[in-house]
Structure 1
Amino acid sequence: MTSDISYTTEDISKLLKISKLTVYDLIKKGDLPAYRVGKQMRVDAADLEAYKVRAKSGRGVAIKTEPKESVPSQPHITTKTASQHAIVITGQDVSLDILAKHLEKKAPQIRPLRSYVGSLDSLIAMYKGESDIVSTHLLDGDTGEYNIPYIRKLLIGSSYVVVNLVSRAAGLYVQKGNPKQLRGWADLQQPHLRLANREKGSGARVLLDEQLRLHGIPSQLMVGYEQEESNHMGVAGKVALGEANFGVGIEKAAYMVGGVDFIPLIKERVDLVMLKKPENLAWIEAVKEVLQSEAFHHELRPIQGYDLSQTGRILFET
């Protein structure tokens, strides 16, 4: 029966043919009632049908559809929780999942929603009003500065604060023993190198493209440049399997995948961006307190490759 069916945010994204960020935005605005089961947000089938009726009659939010296939519904046994203020946290690093958990404990009135989106798309989502906390690690090759040049260009006219989350080593995944002898960015001009690339808009993709530009290396030299993986693990895995000579990513994934060597080339800064709207100020303070807390640091310290020396430090504020 319909009353026994609920959907995940991913299900709704596919059923309505919209992005997961749009689903989160509907939940955040209260247009689509949702509740938490474990780490997942779920929406009852009856509430989804009610939203669709409102949208068709012009009383709901208009949505732009994309041609995607639907997925089957899933049963659940649960009860709805009290209303909370939902905030969307975008980014792919595991430290954001840990942040969401600590924030929920620190401020029970907050309901963190996680969206696993790359750095550039996260900033665009914030500009469009679809995200509340954005993580970004984007290198500006001309200045050597991380994040702030992009933030200032994309969030023109907004008031915001930039706080450091973590710093970490980024560089090259290479096959065991480094048979191609790749030691730096300039070595990528070797002909016929096979690349495991990241998706457009990700921090790793921006890092690679900026280094290719700075070193005058045409991307056309590389086999596989147009083929994209959606995370660091996928890139490292391709290299470990011998399907690529190299990829760009972070140290942690090399240790998790195994079978690859990691060549550190740069320390990248992963920062959080939060818009300083009046209604956001209370939970922004809660985020700052979590970032500076010993409990949060204690949970991050065992993770390979994290530098917490600037975690919680305000780097830029308008």
Structure 2
Amino acid sequence: MLEEEIYTVEEVARLLKVSKLTVYDLIKKDELEAYRVGRQMRIERTALEAYKQRGRGSNLKPVEVIENEVSATAGRIIISGQDPCMDLLARELEGKGAGQPLRSQSGSLDGLVSMYRGEADIVSTHLFDGDTKTYNIPYIRKLLVSQSFVVLHFIKREAGIYVQKGNPENISEWPDLAKPGITIANREPGAGARVLLDEQLRLNGIGKDSVAGYDSIYTSHLAVAGAVAAGRANAGVGISRVAGSANVDFVPMITEQYDIVLLKNQHTEKLIQHVKDLLRSVDLQEELASVGYDTTGMGEVLYEQ
């Protein structure tokens, strides 16, 4: 018997040619069968086919009708971001009765694009801007143009370069990634680590074509570190917390700022206040600090318009 094919929400959205928010709404209304894996949802191929069959000639509303009915008051909260700290935030929001958290594992840029399209309620972002040497605000202002939003500081964490144990290639600075004989494992377009690498290459006058392995894509920090540990690459950009799990060494390069973005409108006032209260709570700050995050300034309003 063939193993059951399993889809993510993003994959089902692409197959049905609708937004992820519409897929979440189908799940919430029990029109599409799904199950949780941690904070994420998974849909089996048979469940998707069953939905499509029931929709042919039945009383189920077409997905395009449902898409027009989706609103921010439906009781679910789409939380976008890949760091485990977002799972803690989702847990706390659910515990406070703020709504039903549903997690999307989108990268920083994709998360902001989803928010602009109305497909995400809370987006985490860590995007380095080489021109200003700052994080996040330059990107958020450009991508959420004409939108009202608030940016709250969440945590800080160390970003840098994974290297093999003992750092045999003596990698210590960004230009070392372009040295002859060095191959990197890279992140997908839109990921904060990919943006950090691209900006550092630009600032150092290094063309992407000069970096071997630039097109070798891995979709998480752990996958990048694993590629380095297995010898498929000499180096890769990621965060310090993952290094110990993958048996690699870590060269710290920058303290990155990990912030949260929420749109401001009549439907999100309570959600914004819930998030502010949680980020400023001593209990959550202590829990995050205990696992290595820098919580200085957590909950501070960095920007709003």
Q: Do the aligned partners of residues 61 and 263 (structure 1) sit closer, same or farther apart at CA in structure 2, a change above 3 Å counting?
A: same
Using structure 1 for the length normalisation, give the TM-score: 0.81
The CA distance in 2 between the partners of 1:307 and 1:289, in whole Å, is 18
Kindly indicate whether residue 284 of structure 2 is the aligned counterpart of residue 296 of structure 1.
Answer: yes
- Given that residues 167 and 267 in structure 1 are in contact (C-alpha distance below 8 angstroms), is that contact kept between their aligned partners in structure 2? yes
User: Distance between the aligned counterparts of 2:61 and 2:218, measured in 1?
Assistant: 39
1:1-318 residue pairs with structure 2 within 5 A? 10=8, 13-14=11-12, 17-18=15-16, 22-28=19-25, 32-33=29-30, 39=39, 41=41, 48-49=51-52, 52-53=55-56, 59-61=62-64, 85-106=75-96, 108-258=97-247, 260-304=248-292, 306-318=293-305
Q: Which amino acid aligns with 1:86?
A: R
Give aligned pairs, total. 290
Paired residue type of 2:162: Y
**Equivalent pair of 1:134/1:274 in contact (CA under 8 Å):** yes
- Answer whether contact 1:197 1:224 (CA < 8 A) is retained: yes
CA distance in 2, matches of 1:143, 1:12: 33
1:301 deviates by 1.7
Whole-angstrom distance in 2 between the partners of 1:16 and 1:261: 38
The separation in 1 between residues aligned to 2:211 and 2:10, in whole angstroms, is 38
**TM superposition score normalised by structure 2:** 0.84
Which runs of at least 4 in structure 1 moved beyond 6 Å after TM superposition?
42-47, 54-58
Take 1:8 and 1:280, find their aligned partners in 2: how far apart are those partners?
Answer: 33
2:123–2:260 CA contact under 8 A, matched in 1: yes
- Cα deviations by residue, 1:139-188 (Å, 9 ceiling, x for unpaired): 11111110000000010110000001111010100111111111111322
Structure 1 spans left out of the alignment, 5+ residues: 1-6, 64-82
For residues 193 and 13 of structure 2, the distance between their equivalents in structure 1, rounded to whole angstroms, comes to 31
For residues 249-268 of structure 1, the C-alpha deviation after alignment (integer angstroms, 9 at most, x for no partner) is 0000102212x110101010
Is the partner of 1:98 in helix, strand or coil? helix
Contact 2:163 2:249 in 1 (8 A): yes
- Cα distance change on mapping 1:46 and 1:228 into 2, 3 Å: closer
Query: Which sections of structure 2, spanning at least 5 residues, go unmatched?
Result: 67-72
- Provide the C-alpha distance between the structure 2 equivalents of 1:104 and 1:203, rounded to a whole number of angstroms: 27
Residues 163 and 236 in structure 2, CA contact (< 8 A), matched pair in contact too: yes
RMSD: 3.2
Q: Is the 8 A contact 2:127 2:135 kept in 1?
A: yes
Instruction: Check 1:131–1:17 CA distance in 2 against 1; reply closer, same or farther (3 A cut).
Output: same
The question of whether the paired residues in 1 share the 8 Å contact of 2:122 and 2:260 is answered with: yes
1:30, distance to aligned residue in structure 2 (A)? 8.5
Instruction: Give the percent of matched residue pairs that are identical in Structure 1 and Structure 2.
Output: 43
